[in-house]
Structure 1
Amino acid sequence: MRSPDSCWLVSGPRWTGGSTPLPGRAGVLVLGAGVMGSTLAYWLARAGHAPLVLDRNDSPAEGSSGRNAGRVIQGGNAQHAPAIERFGHGQALAVYRATLVNRDLVREVTAREGIEAHRTTTAKLDLTDSEDEALELKRTADALSADGIAAEWLDLPGARRVFGTDLPDTVLGGLHRPDQDAVHSVGYVRGIADAARRHGATFSLGVTATSLERTEEGAWRVGTDAGEVLADQVVVALNAWTGRLLPELDARITPVRGQLVQTAPVPFRIPQWGLDRGLVYGGQNQDGSLLLGGLRTTVPNRDENIELPADANTPAFSPELADRLATALPALLPETAGVPVVRAWSGVMAFTPDRCPLVGAMPGRPGLWVMAAFSGHGMPYSQVVAHQLAERIGGGAGAGLPAAFDPARFR
């Protein structure tokens, strides 16, 4: 089952958009061709800009965006009820509604750009085997329903009916939310990147940004291993590596290693699911194979504050944790007993102290923007934050960006 690459990178379409030699000047320069950078380039290009996208890899989605679980689920890092308690009802609802808008934009864009084959509709079932989490999920079901959002608490028999296969008797039930999405991560991101290119974006790939400074004339000078670029505006969308160009954010971004395993295809269908407040999670690919990730609680420091590799997209995966995930699967899903695990890989997430991302203008640095640290929830925000940030870069309000994401909150 050992593999250095994710199932998405192995099975996804090759990048056929090519690469343009690095120009010396750009209006808007986007650093990073993952889901955030590629989607931002798409919306900028549709708005009439001609963004330049740089990435150290030879194709989009080679980094974290190509190594996740492909989950376009709704809600932020915390469940809705505790999010209301922490941030207040208005902010919590703004975050949740942003993910609803994101789901709709994913469907709109994949249909318009001919990449619907990389998206599927599913549901989400947050399971629990603890009484305190069950109470939290019940309160969340009530809070979501009060806000007009479809959600319900299901006891174990109801959860089994929705799940589509057996669940162990230790499960108390789960929070069920219909109308979620999942994507083939690499197919989706490369499809968005190719659409951005068709609309007028330029991609210079295999180029590593090494420095960033403001010129006396007010432009931004970006040093790379292929030469310098001057840009009127720069967006740093480098996930956990953001602090290398924006050191003032380094202390606010914690790099975290995540790991996933993939099984052989199974004959039943299940929704996206989570357990233990999302520290164990899974889903199913279009080919019927299952994904299982998490169990960071079983390793020292939960795999947080890892050392980022200098010249690689992800640290090596832990064979021990991969084995634990493979062993845990039949205990969580009894009908998977005997189903082989065929692949294992790792990826890097970036967490902030409050588990809200950093999206917006860098305080006191005109023309400099950031999209980073989505705390394991990049896909659920990818379209909406890119769409709204593109509006702000063009001089608009971008009012759909939740205030909780403002980088200025950490000043």
Structure 2
Amino acid sequence: MAHHPQCFPVDNPTGSFWQAEEHVLSHHRSTEELLPHSDIVIIGAGYAGVGTAYHLAQEADDRIGSITILEARAACSGATGRNGGHLRPDLYGHIPTYIGRAGSRAGAEIAEFEIAHIRALKKFIEEEKIDCDLTVSRSIDVWCNEEAAKKAKEVYDFMVAKGFEYMDDVIFYTGENVEGVSTHYNGQNYQTNLYQICGVKGAIACASFTAATMWPYKFVMHLLQKLVAGNRINLQTQTPVNSIETDPTGGFLVQTPRGQIHTYKVIHANNAYVSGLLPEYNRNIVPCKGICCRITVPEGVKPPLLNNSYIHRTDDNTLSYLIPRADGSIVVGGAAAKFKSFKEQWYNNVDDSILIDAAKNYYDGYMQRTFNGWENTGAKVDSIWSGVMGYSYDSNPHIGHIPRKDNQFIIAGFNGHGMPVIWLAARELARMISHGIPFEDTTMPGLFKTSQFRIDRAMNGREEDGDILSTGKFLATKP
């Protein structure tokens, strides 16, 4: 199967803050030439590819054999190295959608799986002493639009009524009934001050729950370094895969501009780009561009401290996701509402060498107009970049055996929400591959399983009926 040129990484992506200091393995090749054979070939050296390789490498050598990772560009140069640094589970935002489609258990399964990532990653990062700025704090959802705030409260009440234990961690604040939020007398009446909680101008409601922030590029490159140093994988960067052919004598021939490699198993971990080699995922996982930036303040300026990460929705419902960093800078991105109508600028577009025109100036002055006390800080955009995410037709990732393709696997389609999904999904996929267990025997949410039914539904459905274009899902998620 030949690749689909429209779904192939471009050579010169915009520079992301996370990758400003290039890692020693960025352009690494374990061997000068491609090995003639590798038992497993993984396509993509981002979070999903490296995470799967790491978990496979934990298995007994005789069970797994040799592993090669092929990466079209530099290691971790795609979405993982260009995101917002937010490890933030979705506790209630889209869970009702999944409950509506598949029942309460299915919705809770996803929320619980995502929450488990905070504990699992914290434990792993501490044990391995990985320097990747992991911080566990609270994340605050803020609504500045009356109607959106009302809807959010209804969703929150619906989820609490379901009796999910994890909802105990969510605190919802609204203007008229907020315990612990300061009230002050303005000469005529007492006013409840939401700013004390979230610091956002014009906040009508906010919710808070446990989340984390981190430096994903450093995390993935640490894993990669460990794998390369232990000779557990052969890494080949700047090696795009052109096609995968079935070898008549068994296995596959993976074709690249640098020659071919024979393998028994292929893992497609190239997220937004999977349909380039797997045309059946053409409608299922669509590459969608996003925008992200880093904001700094001049030396010596001390802006109000932000201890939490944020999802901020303005009065006109433009969503941004934001994390404060230990160095005093802010990483913020989103603004999809500003470019959603310019479909050609973001939808089915893999060109991360250019910014999104309709939103590239949105974050100029963002902190000043959004947060109290930031008005005179001189905060300005220090660097800005774009990235390509893989959005799925039904908002769930595709993980597992690729239907009708024996010994080919997929872990892709993270909807700009891969941080609280990929680590444990990669672990479970590795178990499927090394132990031959079915998807149903893993701890992954049932809705994540790739299937012929899901593939057909997207291929036969109308493009505009998919979640990306129809439900505003794109507006509500974060890379």
Q: TM-score, normalising length from structure 2?
A: 0.78
Give the counterpart of 2:350 among 308, 323, 326: 308
How far off its partner does 1:140 sit?
Answer: 4.3
Larger Rg: 2
Match for residue 134 of structure 2? 119
Give the counterpart of 1:327 among 358, 365, 368: 365
Give the counterpart of 1:403 among 417, 425, 446: 446
Match for residue 129 of structure 1? 144
For residue 189 of structure 1, what is the amino acid of its counterpart?
A: V
Instruction: Give 1:68-217 correspondences, 5 Å limit.
Output: 68-75=83-90, 78-142=93-157, 143=159, 146-149=163-166, 150-155=169-174, 158=181, 160-163=195-198, 166-168=199-201, 170-178=202-210, 180-199=211-230, 200-217=232-249
Kept in 2, the 8 Å contact 1:70–1:182? The answer is yes
Greater mean deviation of Cα atoms: 370-379 or 266-275: 266-275
How far off its partner does 1:329 sit?
Answer: 3.4
How far off its partner does 1:320 sit?
Answer: 5.3
Distance change (3 Å), C-alpha of 1:4 and 1:16: closer
Give identity over the alignment, percent. Answer: 20
Kept in 1, the 8 Å contact 2:195–2:203? The answer is no
Q: Deviations over 1:237-285 (max 9, x none)?
A: 1121111110111122222111112111545123121133783221112
Q: Deviations over 1:74-127 (max 9, x none)?
A: 127943334322332111111111112222221222123221443121221111
Cα distance in 2, alignment partners of residues 154 and 32 from structure 1: 42
Give the counterpart of 2:312 among 270, 275, 297: 275
RMSD of equivalent CA atoms: 2.4
Distance change (3 Å), C-alpha of 1:76 and 1:13: farther
User: How many residue pairs are counted as aligned between the two chains?
Assistant: 400
Cα distance in 1, alignment partners of residues 357 and 329 from structure 2: 20
SS state at 2:262 partner: strand
Q: Does 1:345 align with 2:360?
A: no
Kept in 2, the 8 Å contact 1:77–1:376? The answer is no
For residue 367 of structure 2, what is the amino acid of its counterpart?
A: L
Distance change (3 Å), C-alpha of 1:278 and 1:318: closer
**Structure 2, gaps ≥5 residues long:** 1-12, 182-193, 298-302, 457-479
Greater mean deviation of Cα atoms: 359-368 or 98-107: 98-107
Match for residue 463 of structure 2? none
How far off its partner does 1:160 sit?
Answer: 3.2
Q: Deviations over 1:196-216 (max 9, x none)?
A: 334512212221111012223
Give the counterpart of 2:406 among 355, 361, 366: 366
Kept in 1, the 8 Å contact 2:228–2:234? The answer is yes
Q: Deviations over 1:333-384 (max 9, x none)?
A: 2333331221111111111121111111100111001111111011111201
Instruction: Give 1:228-247 correspondences, 5 Å limit.
Output: 228-247=260-279
SS state at 1:326 partner: coil
Match for residue 73 of structure 2? 57
Match for residue 52 of structure 2? 40
